[in-house]
Amino acid sequence: MTKPSEKPVDELVPIFFMGKRYDVPASLTIQKALEYAGYQHIRGCGCRGGVCGACGTVYRIPDSYKLQVGLACQTVVQPGMHLMILPYYPGNRSEFDIEELKGTGGEVAALYPEIFKCIGCNSCTQGCPMDIDVMHYMAQAIRGDIAGVAETSFDCIMCGLCASRCPAEEVQFNVAILARRLHARYGHPRAMHLKERVKEIENGKFEEPLRDLMSKSTEELKELYKSREGEPQFTEEDWTPQDARYV
């Protein structure tokens, strides 16, 4: 029986990072396993929660012909895994000035004409660690449906792993961010309350409260945080047509 002061030791398994072997606990993610092995993450490490895309990883497992991809902060090591982290995927990015565009599907096609090379193989979707239907939003881009691309690709974290699997050598993630920016600039309703708040900031409404906060001690700030007013919790029954202007 394990004593309360004792912790069970994980089984160690071999992994290979950049061709060098390391024995690491079997329960760790790739990111934590590399730290266990002595690596200090300067690149390829961001949020650690699967939302920044900085730790895209390519790996192979023994006795499998498949080249697999995942996020190092989420993927648990496997015995014999050969891996490499890709902090940045070198995808071509078209230059544009958002203010000079009009938000049309034709502009997406002009900036990324390679979208028409898509062969519908679905490799991009299979390689997405966020389970986004990448092939679907590329089909939407071909049809000029910017709103559709923006909606379907909403959870894209720009890791580039979709492009790493594409035989047509497209840059799906850059097409997605262009569509989201165009939709936000030209297709989505403007948030009037945000415009009002920006005007209040420019007029100096919050200068005095900010100076007051900056003058407080750490303990005073903690107490203010604990006693803050919580955000209201809305349900579908609370929703009114007037709320649409805040969307």
Rounded Cα distance between 147 and 137, Å, is 10
Contact yes or no for 179/141 (Cβ under 8 A) = yes
DSSP for residue 34: H
Report if residue 129 sits inside a domain. yes
- pLDDT score, position 46: 84
125 and 64 in a common domain: no
- pLDDT score, position 244: 47
Report if residue 230 sits inside a domain. no
Number of domains in the chain: 2
154 and 177 in a common domain: yes
- pLDDT score, position 132: 95
How high is the mean pLDDT in each 10-residue block of the chain (247 residues)? 54 94 96 93 83 92 90 95 90 92 94 95 93 96 96 94 92 96 90 89 94 94 88 63 46
Residues ≥6 apart with Cβ < 8 Å to 181: 98
74 and 129 in a common domain: no
99 and 45 in a common domain: no
- pLDDT score, position 88: 84
- pLDDT score, position 246: 42
CATH number of the CATH domain containing 158:
1.10.1060
Its domain, for residue 199, covers 89-220
185 and 172 in a common domain: yes
93 and 194 in a common domain: yes
Helices 134-143 and 172-182 pack at an angle, to 10 degrees, of 60
144 and 105 in a common domain: yes
Question: How many other β-carbons are positioned within 10 Å of the β-carbon of residue 229?
Answer: 5
- pLDDT score, position 247: 42
- pLDDT score, position 5: 47
198 and 94 in a common domain: yes
Report if residue 187 sits inside a domain. yes
- pLDDT score, position 149: 97
- pLDDT score, position 210: 93
CATH number of the CATH domain containing 25:
3.10.20.740
